[in-house]
Structure formats: C-alpha cells, structure tokens
C-alpha cells in the first residue's frame, strides 16, 4: 500500500490540496520515510510470496498424483531443490551475499589460527640468534605474525632502562635544587636517555 502511495504521490498531493484543504499534505520527510519503509518491507513481501508458493506447489502436485509412492518420489531432495532453485529473489541474493561475507571472515580468522599453530610447532631457535633475522626469513610463512613480531620485538623486556631514567631524573632535580621547570626537566631527561 505504501508503494502505491509513493507511485501516485503527485496525484495524491494535488487531490488532498484541492478536495481536502483542511488536511495537511505529506511532507518530504514523510515521503522519504515511506520510501525507506517500502525498501524494508519489500523483503517481507518477497518472503511471503515465496512461502505462499510452497503450499500451492504441494497442493497442485498432490492433487494430480494420488499414489503415495509417487509422493515419496516427488519429495526427494532433487525435486524439491529444483522447485526452490527456480525461484530467484532478493531474499536469496541477500542471504547468499551475507553467507559469502561470513565465510570470507572465517577464512581470514582461520588463516591467523593456522599461522599461530604452525609457529607453535616450530622448533626453538638458539637464544643467541637474532630474532629479527629469524622472522625476516619466515615472513612468507607467517605474514601476520611477522608484523606483530616486528612491533613487539622493539619493546624493551627489562625495567632497568626505565629505572635508570628515573634515577637520572632524581639526580637532576636534586643536583639543581629544583631550579628548572617541569618541562625543562623532562627535556633534560629525554636528552640524557637518548645520548
């Protein structure tokens, strides 16, 4: 019904303005909402049509063939699939695209888990060897893990450098007797830790 109103909206607006001047006309926002509702409701219309055809097909087939053995043959998977495959609609197109997206996301996720499992199964390499070279050599096997390793291997694993910076900060502040502003102290610390 909304689709029909949208089809004849110009005539409807004119009719309301001429015949029923006391009524308010539909605004452009209301027309926009109606068009969006039609898009949403179109899916339900398609589903209703598809579901209603199933019952009709069954009734037609069973009325023509009364033998129960033939009914069993008609209900075999190949026959029912042929009826369903003949009906192409937006419902199944949307469903198929949704399923394709889900499968693609599963493949991406499973690719990461496969890489992790392969990495766990790798033999341990020497403690003295360079991990960056090892990851560089295996970049083709573990592309996602290699990117993570490149980011994580630059992190200092010890708290000693951090403790040294705080120790220097304490020395700078006490040596100069807090004559420097906070910003100056942070700049001095930066220079001391990076030289």
Q: Where are the domains of the chain?
A: 2-87, 160-193
Task: Tell me what pLDDT residue 152 has.
Answer: 74
Token digits of residue 176 = 């100069």
Task: Tell me what pLDDT residue 186 has.
Answer: 75
Local mean pLDDT, 10-residue blocks, the chain (195 residues): 83 83 82 86 79 68 61 51 51 74 65 79 80 86 84 64 67 60 73 69
Task: Tell me what pLDDT residue 161 has.
Answer: 60
Predicted TM-score (pTM) of the model is 0.31
Place of tokens 């040596």: 175
Handedness of CA 114, 118, 121, 125 (dihedral sign): negative
Task: Tell me what pLDDT residue 83 has.
Answer: 45
Residue 73 has φ and ψ, to the nearest 5°, of -65, -40
Task: Tell me what pLDDT residue 158 has.
Answer: 56
DSSP code at position 124: P
Task: Tell me what pLDDT residue 88 has.
Answer: 56
Give how far Cα 1 sits from Cα of 27, 31, 61, 68, 104, Å: 18, 13, 33, 42, 39
Token digits of residue 168 = 């220097």
Classify 129 in phi/psi space as left (phi over 0), alpha (psi -120 to 50) or beta: beta
């Amino acid at each position: 019904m909304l689709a029909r109103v949208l089809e004849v909206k110009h005539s409807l607006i004119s009719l309301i303005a001429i015949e029923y001047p006391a009524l308010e006309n539909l605004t452009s926002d209301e027309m926009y909402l109606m068009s969006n509702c039609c898009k949403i409701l179109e899916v339900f219309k398609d589903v209703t049509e598809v579901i209603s055809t199933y019952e009709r097909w069954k009734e037609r087939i069973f009325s023509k063939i009364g033998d129960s053995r033939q009914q069993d043959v008609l209900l075999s998977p190949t026959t029912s699939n042929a009826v369903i495959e003949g009906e192409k609609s937006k419902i199944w197109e949307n469903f198929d695209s949704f399923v394709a997206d889900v499968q693609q996301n599963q493949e991406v996720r499973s690719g990461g888990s496969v890489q992790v499992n392969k990495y766990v199964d790798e033999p341990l390499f020497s403690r003295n060897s360079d991990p960056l070279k090892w990851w560089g050599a295996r970049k083709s096997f573990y592309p996602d893990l290699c990117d993570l390793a490149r980011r994580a291997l630059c992190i200092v694993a010890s708290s000693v450098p951090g403790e040294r910076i705080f120790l220097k900060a304490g020395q700078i502040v006490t040596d100069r007797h807090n004559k420097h502003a906070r910003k100056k102290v942070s700049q001095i610390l930066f220079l001391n830790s990076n030289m």
